[in-house]
Structure 1
């Protein structure tokens, strides 16, 4: 049923919960797991005026690569074939495009990575991905959300 599963991750606790589900599904179906982290390409210069936008982007890319590598190590330890990618762009755009380009059968992602007012004003990457994806999207709540439900 599933040959290629996409797990977008930002390294948050909620994304980590989704990783566990994706690893389990990939192992059950002997599917290839695609681990993707997106470096948001929108302007970040306002967040740290003393640091150049290039330095901020490089720091974000380094963190994304570390997160992807960590998930890849877990997949390999579980005997799951893994493909990794770190891509720049607008997160939901990149997730939807990546899933289509790589012919993924399922996207597994946390319900959110960010918290607070910004999430409610902008909407979440997950919500936009669910609306736009042509393949099923399994959303996973983080442990901190279970207490609020």
Structure 2
């Protein structure tokens, strides 16, 4: 098979759901494919007055983690779930893929804040920085 380990970036957006669909199709073709499902919890500089915001972000990230763990449990492939924390989502995704020995990154064309019709800033940065193949899933109907 042309890939052995794939990282799938997921943030709950429609394009990231599409990335999961693409991963499932690839995984069906190769039951030995190892999968790393990641969600990035982007950290921002906040003062003590914004402590409640930090709590909400952690709760949201943990909800996404539980969603990914449920998806992983359904897959016959070896699968791992990670929540990455930092200020640069693209760097976190690329570095995780390198560290885990992935040879494919699958992600949506844009994330939660993306503008429809344009490649998102995170997916664009990943395609520029990644030494491995990046598959960008676009939302919409399959042909």
Is the TM-score greater than 0.5?
A: yes
Q: Identify the structure with the greater helix proportion.
A: 1
The equivalent of 2:14 in structure 1 is 13
Runs ≥4 in structure 1, deviation > 4 angstroms? Answer: none
Number of the residue aligned with 1:34: 36
TM-score (norm 1): 0.79
| Cα distance in 1 between the residues matched to 2:76 and 2:124 | 31
Match of 2:23 in 1: 22
CA RMSD of aligned residues (A): 2.4
TM-score (ref. length: structure 2): 0.82
Q: How does 1:1-149 map to 2 (within 5 A)?
A: 1-29=2-30, 30-43=32-45, 52-89=49-86, 90-113=88-111, 114-116=113-115, 124-143=121-140
Q: CA deviation at 1:44?
A: 5.4
Aligned residues: 136
Change (3 A) 1:7 1:84: same
Q: Which runs of 5+ in 1 are unaligned?
A: 46-50
User: Any stretches of 5+ residues in structure 2 without a counterpart?
Assistant: none
